[in-house]
Amino acid sequence: MARITRTRLARQLRGNLELLQLGGVNELPVRQARKPAARPARGQPAPAPAALHPAPQARTAPAKVGAPVVVPSAALQELKAFDSPQARALEPVAEQVRVCGACKLCSSRTQTVFGTGDPRSPLMIVGEAPGGDEDARGVPFVGRAGKLLTDIIEKGMKYRREHVYICNVLKCRPPGNRNPEPDEIEACRGFLARQIEIINPKVILAVGLFPAQWLTGRKEPIGRLRGQVFDMHGRKVIATYHPAYVLRNYTVEVRKKVHEDVLLAVGILGPGPLVA
Ligand code: URA
Protein backbone atom coordinates (compact mmCIF):
# COMPACT_ATOMS: atom_id res chain seq x y z
CA MET A 1 0.00 0.00 0.00
CA ALA A 2 1.31 3.50 -0.86
CA ARG A 3 2.31 5.50 2.24
CA ILE A 4 1.38 9.11 2.65
CA THR A 5 3.18 11.55 4.91
CA ARG A 6 1.32 13.46 7.62
CA THR A 7 2.17 16.77 5.93
CA ARG A 8 0.77 15.64 2.59
CA LEU A 9 -2.31 14.19 4.26
CA ALA A 10 -2.85 17.49 6.10
CA ARG A 11 -2.50 19.42 2.83
CA GLN A 12 -4.96 17.14 1.05
CA LEU A 13 -7.40 17.43 3.92
CA ARG A 14 -7.16 21.21 3.97
CA GLY A 15 -7.63 21.37 0.18
CA ASN A 16 -10.64 19.06 0.34
CA LEU A 17 -12.20 21.09 3.15
CA GLU A 18 -11.73 24.25 1.11
CA LEU A 19 -13.38 22.62 -1.85
CA LEU A 20 -16.36 21.64 0.27
CA GLN A 21 -16.51 25.22 1.52
CA LEU A 22 -16.46 26.52 -2.06
CA GLY A 23 -19.41 24.20 -2.70
CA GLY A 24 -21.31 25.82 0.21
CA VAL A 25 -20.64 23.22 2.92
CA ASN A 26 -19.92 25.06 6.16
CA GLU A 27 -20.38 22.30 8.72
CA LEU A 28 -19.38 18.67 8.89
CA PRO A 29 -20.71 16.11 11.37
CA VAL A 30 -17.98 14.81 13.66
CA ARG A 31 -18.25 11.27 14.94
CA GLN A 32 -17.01 10.83 18.52
CA ALA A 33 -14.24 8.28 18.94
CA ARG A 34 -15.51 5.19 20.75
CA LYS A 35 -14.33 4.84 24.32
CA PRO A 36 -12.02 1.86 24.73
CA ALA A 37 -13.84 -1.05 26.39
CA ALA A 38 -13.38 -1.09 30.15
CA ARG A 39 -11.08 -3.80 31.38
CA PRO A 40 -13.02 -6.63 32.97
CA ALA A 41 -12.84 -6.67 36.71
CA ARG A 42 -10.77 -9.41 38.17
CA GLY A 43 -12.60 -12.70 38.09
CA GLN A 44 -15.10 -11.50 35.41
CA PRO A 45 -15.21 -13.13 31.93
CA ALA A 46 -13.38 -11.30 29.12
CA PRO A 47 -15.60 -9.65 26.46
CA ALA A 48 -16.25 -11.54 23.24
CA PRO A 49 -13.53 -11.12 20.57
CA ALA A 50 -13.95 -8.03 18.39
CA ALA A 51 -14.54 -10.17 15.30
CA LEU A 52 -17.90 -11.21 16.74
CA HIS A 53 -18.90 -7.54 17.10
CA PRO A 54 -17.47 -5.88 14.00
CA ALA A 55 -17.22 -2.08 14.25
CA PRO A 56 -19.67 -0.28 11.97
CA GLN A 57 -18.09 0.55 8.63
CA ALA A 58 -17.21 4.21 8.08
CA ARG A 59 -19.55 5.66 5.47
CA THR A 60 -16.79 7.53 3.69
CA ALA A 61 -14.84 5.67 1.01
CA PRO A 62 -11.26 4.83 1.90
CA ALA A 63 -8.70 7.30 0.52
CA LYS A 64 -7.86 6.26 -3.03
CA VAL A 65 -4.22 5.74 -3.89
CA GLY A 66 -3.46 8.26 -6.59
CA ALA A 67 -6.07 10.78 -5.43
CA PRO A 68 -5.16 14.32 -6.49
CA VAL A 69 -3.10 16.41 -4.10
CA VAL A 70 -5.12 19.59 -3.54
CA VAL A 71 -3.71 22.62 -1.73
CA PRO A 72 -4.60 26.33 -1.82
CA SER A 73 -3.05 27.82 -4.94
CA ALA A 74 -0.47 30.60 -4.87
CA ALA A 75 -1.85 31.64 -8.27
CA LEU A 76 -5.33 32.38 -6.94
CA GLN A 77 -4.01 34.76 -4.29
CA GLU A 78 -1.89 36.55 -6.88
CA LEU A 79 -4.82 36.81 -9.32
CA LYS A 80 -7.00 38.35 -6.62
CA ALA A 81 -4.31 40.97 -6.04
CA PHE A 82 -4.18 41.84 -9.76
CA ASP A 83 -7.91 42.48 -9.86
CA SER A 84 -8.31 42.98 -13.64
CA PRO A 85 -10.91 41.43 -15.99
CA GLN A 86 -8.26 38.99 -17.23
CA ALA A 87 -7.30 38.06 -13.66
CA ARG A 88 -10.96 37.48 -12.75
CA ALA A 89 -11.45 35.31 -15.85
CA LEU A 90 -8.39 33.25 -14.93
CA GLU A 91 -9.53 32.56 -11.35
CA PRO A 92 -11.93 29.67 -12.14
CA VAL A 93 -9.33 28.15 -14.47
CA ALA A 94 -6.74 28.31 -11.68
CA GLU A 95 -9.27 26.58 -9.42
CA GLN A 96 -9.85 23.82 -11.97
CA VAL A 97 -6.09 23.31 -12.21
CA ARG A 98 -5.74 23.24 -8.41
CA VAL A 99 -8.07 20.26 -8.08
CA CYS A 100 -7.17 18.59 -11.39
CA GLY A 101 -6.86 14.83 -11.39
CA ALA A 102 -6.79 14.33 -15.15
CA CYS A 103 -3.45 12.55 -15.34
CA LYS A 104 -1.08 10.55 -13.17
CA LEU A 105 0.98 13.60 -12.15
CA CYS A 106 -1.77 14.67 -9.76
CA SER A 107 -0.79 12.12 -7.15
CA SER A 108 2.95 12.85 -7.10
CA ARG A 109 2.77 16.66 -7.10
CA THR A 110 3.09 18.76 -3.96
CA GLN A 111 0.81 21.33 -5.57
CA THR A 112 -0.15 22.62 -9.00
CA VAL A 113 1.73 25.50 -10.65
CA PHE A 114 -0.74 27.59 -12.65
CA GLY A 115 1.10 30.75 -13.66
CA THR A 116 2.43 34.05 -12.42
CA GLY A 117 2.72 37.65 -13.53
CA ASP A 118 0.39 40.29 -14.87
CA PRO A 119 -2.49 38.76 -16.89
CA ARG A 120 -2.77 42.05 -18.86
CA SER A 121 0.71 41.51 -20.29
CA PRO A 122 1.27 41.55 -24.06
CA LEU A 123 4.10 39.05 -23.45
CA MET A 124 3.55 35.50 -22.28
CA ILE A 125 6.42 33.12 -21.64
CA VAL A 126 5.64 29.42 -21.71
CA GLY A 127 8.00 26.84 -20.23
CA GLU A 128 7.79 23.06 -20.08
CA ALA A 129 6.77 21.96 -16.60
CA PRO A 130 7.43 22.84 -12.96
CA GLY A 131 10.64 21.53 -11.42
CA GLY A 132 11.33 20.81 -7.75
CA ASP A 133 11.46 24.45 -6.59
CA GLU A 134 8.28 25.32 -8.48
CA ASP A 135 6.47 22.25 -7.12
CA ALA A 136 7.43 23.33 -3.60
CA ARG A 137 6.36 26.97 -4.04
CA GLY A 138 3.49 26.75 -6.52
CA VAL A 139 5.07 29.43 -8.77
CA PRO A 140 6.74 28.86 -12.16
CA PHE A 141 10.41 29.55 -12.79
CA VAL A 142 11.63 30.23 -9.25
CA GLY A 143 14.66 27.90 -9.26
CA ARG A 144 18.03 28.27 -11.05
CA ALA A 145 16.49 28.22 -14.51
CA GLY A 146 14.00 30.79 -13.25
CA LYS A 147 16.78 33.10 -12.10
CA LEU A 148 18.29 32.96 -15.58
CA LEU A 149 14.87 33.58 -17.13
CA THR A 150 14.51 36.67 -14.91
CA ASP A 151 17.91 37.91 -16.13
CA ILE A 152 16.87 37.30 -19.74
CA ILE A 153 13.68 39.34 -19.19
CA GLU A 154 15.23 42.13 -17.13
CA LYS A 155 18.78 42.45 -18.51
CA GLY A 156 18.25 41.10 -22.04
CA MET A 157 14.79 42.45 -22.87
CA LYS A 158 14.76 45.33 -20.38
CA TYR A 159 11.30 44.46 -19.10
CA ARG A 160 10.18 43.84 -15.54
CA ARG A 161 9.51 40.19 -14.72
CA GLU A 162 6.26 40.97 -12.92
CA HIS A 163 4.94 42.59 -16.12
CA VAL A 164 5.27 39.31 -18.03
CA TYR A 165 2.82 36.43 -17.66
CA ILE A 166 4.73 33.18 -17.14
CA CYS A 167 3.35 29.65 -17.17
CA ASN A 168 4.08 26.13 -18.41
CA VAL A 169 2.71 23.48 -20.76
CA LEU A 170 2.26 21.17 -17.74
CA LYS A 171 0.86 22.44 -14.46
CA CYS A 172 2.31 19.60 -12.38
CA ARG A 173 5.88 18.45 -11.88
CA PRO A 174 6.86 15.25 -13.66
CA PRO A 175 8.67 13.03 -11.13
CA GLY A 176 12.44 13.51 -11.22
CA ASN A 177 11.94 16.36 -13.73
CA ARG A 178 11.59 13.90 -16.59
CA ASN A 179 10.19 15.10 -19.91
CA PRO A 180 6.43 15.62 -20.18
CA GLU A 181 4.66 12.59 -21.67
CA PRO A 182 2.14 12.91 -24.54
CA ASP A 183 -0.88 11.97 -22.38
CA GLU A 184 0.13 14.58 -19.78
CA ILE A 185 0.48 17.28 -22.43
CA GLU A 186 -2.97 16.36 -23.78
CA ALA A 187 -4.55 16.33 -20.30
CA CYS A 188 -3.20 19.85 -19.67
CA ARG A 189 -3.82 21.24 -23.16
CA GLY A 190 -7.13 22.96 -22.35
CA PHE A 191 -5.65 24.90 -19.43
CA LEU A 192 -2.87 26.51 -21.45
CA ALA A 193 -5.30 27.16 -24.30
CA ARG A 194 -7.61 29.04 -21.87
CA GLN A 195 -4.71 31.03 -20.43
CA ILE A 196 -3.71 32.15 -23.93
CA GLU A 197 -7.31 32.96 -24.84
CA ILE A 198 -7.91 35.05 -21.70
CA ILE A 199 -4.56 36.86 -21.61
CA ASN A 200 -4.54 37.32 -25.38
CA PRO A 201 -0.83 38.20 -25.55
CA LYS A 202 0.65 39.84 -28.60
CA VAL A 203 3.80 37.71 -28.36
CA ILE A 204 4.36 34.26 -26.85
CA LEU A 205 7.92 33.23 -26.13
CA ALA A 206 8.24 29.44 -25.96
CA VAL A 207 11.25 28.37 -23.92
CA GLY A 208 12.22 24.80 -24.72
CA LEU A 209 11.18 22.08 -27.12
CA PHE A 210 7.79 21.12 -25.65
CA PRO A 211 6.24 24.61 -25.58
CA ALA A 212 7.81 25.35 -28.98
CA GLN A 213 6.16 22.28 -30.52
CA TRP A 214 2.89 22.88 -28.61
CA LEU A 215 2.62 26.47 -29.84
CA THR A 216 3.79 26.03 -33.42
CA GLY A 217 2.21 22.63 -34.01
CA ARG A 218 5.47 21.49 -35.60
CA LYS A 219 7.47 18.43 -34.71
CA GLU A 220 10.90 19.85 -35.45
CA PRO A 221 13.82 20.15 -33.03
CA ILE A 222 14.21 23.38 -31.09
CA GLY A 223 17.33 24.28 -33.06
CA ARG A 224 15.15 24.57 -36.15
CA LEU A 225 12.15 26.22 -34.49
CA ARG A 226 14.14 29.03 -32.86
CA GLY A 227 15.16 32.20 -34.68
CA GLN A 228 11.86 32.78 -36.49
CA VAL A 229 8.49 34.38 -35.86
CA PHE A 230 5.40 32.15 -36.28
CA ASP A 231 1.85 33.36 -36.56
CA MET A 232 -0.71 31.71 -34.27
CA HIS A 233 -4.17 33.13 -34.98
CA GLY A 234 -2.75 36.64 -35.17
CA ARG A 235 -0.37 36.18 -32.23
CA LYS A 236 3.36 36.00 -32.75
CA VAL A 237 5.16 32.93 -31.42
CA ILE A 238 8.94 32.90 -30.95
CA ALA A 239 10.84 29.87 -29.70
CA THR A 240 14.18 29.73 -27.97
CA TYR A 241 16.28 27.38 -25.88
CA HIS A 242 15.13 26.52 -22.36
CA PRO A 243 17.09 28.37 -19.62
CA ALA A 244 18.03 24.99 -18.07
CA TYR A 245 19.60 24.03 -21.41
CA VAL A 246 21.47 27.34 -21.46
CA LEU A 247 22.79 26.65 -17.94
CA ARG A 248 24.03 23.25 -19.06
CA ASN A 249 25.53 24.67 -22.28
CA TYR A 250 26.73 28.05 -21.10
CA THR A 251 28.61 29.03 -24.24
CA VAL A 252 28.79 32.39 -25.99
CA GLU A 253 27.16 30.77 -29.03
CA VAL A 254 24.07 29.49 -27.16
CA ARG A 255 23.64 32.72 -25.19
CA LYS A 256 23.95 34.76 -28.37
CA LYS A 257 21.18 32.72 -30.02
CA VAL A 258 18.87 33.23 -27.03
CA HIS A 259 19.64 36.95 -27.10
CA GLU A 260 18.80 37.12 -30.82
CA ASP A 261 15.52 35.26 -30.20
CA VAL A 262 14.35 37.48 -27.37
CA LEU A 263 15.23 40.59 -29.38
CA LEU A 264 12.77 39.35 -32.03
CA ALA A 265 10.10 39.63 -29.34
CA VAL A 266 11.31 43.07 -28.22
CA GLY A 267 11.23 44.19 -31.86
CA ILE A 268 7.51 43.39 -32.00
CA LEU A 269 6.58 44.63 -28.52
CA GLY A 270 8.74 47.74 -28.38
CA PRO A 271 10.49 49.05 -25.27
CA GLY A 272 8.93 48.64 -21.81
CA PRO A 273 7.10 49.08 -19.58
CA LEU A 274 4.91 46.25 -20.86
CA VAL A 275 2.01 47.15 -18.61
CA ALA A 276 0.93 50.69 -17.82
N1 URA B 1 11.38 24.80 -16.05
C2 URA B 1 10.18 25.04 -16.67
O3 URA B 1 10.03 24.73 -17.84
N4 URA B 1 9.24 25.62 -15.97
C5 URA B 1 9.39 26.00 -14.71
O6 URA B 1 8.44 26.54 -14.14
C7 URA B 1 10.63 25.77 -14.09
C8 URA B 1 11.60 25.16 -14.77
Q: What is the mean pLDDT of residues 240-263?
A: 98
Nearest to 200 by CA among 114, 82, 113, 85: 85
Any idea what DSSP says for residue 45?
A: P
Using the atom order of ligand 1, give the atom closest to the CA of residue 242. 3
pTM (2 d.p.): 0.79
pLDDT-based confidence at residue 51 (cuts at 50, 70, 90): very low
On the question of pLDDT at 62 being above 50, the answer is: no
**Gap from CA of 145 to ligand 1 centroid (Å):** 7
pLDDT-based confidence at residue 66 (cuts at 50, 70, 90): confident
128 lines ligand 1 (CB under 6 A): yes
Is beta strand 229-232 parallel, antiparallel or unpaired with respect to 203-207? unpaired
Please answer whether residues 243 and 206 qualify as being in contact, where contact means their C-beta atoms are separated by less than 8 angstroms.
no
pLDDT score at 5: 57
129 lines ligand 1 (CB under 6 A): yes
Residue located nearest, by CA, to atom 7 of ligand 1: 141
Substitution site in 116, 128, 210 for ligand 1 pocket (most atoms within 8 Å of beta carbon): 128
Strands (E), 52-139: 123-127
**Gap from CA of 205 to ligand 1 centroid (Å):** 13
**Gap from CA of 109 to ligand 1 centroid (Å):** 14
Domains of the chain: 74-269 (3.40.470.10)
Please answer whether residues 128 and 76 qualify as being in contact, where contact means their C-beta atoms are separated by less than 8 angstroms.
no
**Gap from CA of 49 to ligand 1 centroid (Å):** 57
**Gap from CA of 208 to ligand 1 centroid (Å):** 9
Of the chain, the percentage scoring pLDDT greater than 90 comes to 75
Is beta strand 203-207 parallel, antiparallel or unpaired with respect to 165-168? unpaired
pLDDT-based confidence at residue 235 (cuts at 50, 70, 90): very high
Substitution site in 110, 112, 133, 134 for ligand 1 pocket (most atoms within 8 Å of beta carbon): 134
Give the Cα separation of 33 and 244 in Å (integer). Answer: 52
1-38 as b/e, with b when 16 or more CB fall inside 10 Å? Answer: eeeeeeeeeebbeebeebeeeeeeeeeeeeeeeeeeee
**Gap from CA of 186 to ligand 1 centroid (Å):** 18
- One-letter-per-residue 3-state SS of 118-133: CCCCCEEEEECCCCHH
Any idea what DSSP says for residue 65?
A: T
CA distances from 49 to 1, 74, 191, 220 (A): 27, 51, 54, 69
pLDDT score at 49: 35
Please answer whether residues 117 and 161 qualify as being in contact, where contact means their C-beta atoms are separated by less than 8 angstroms.
yes
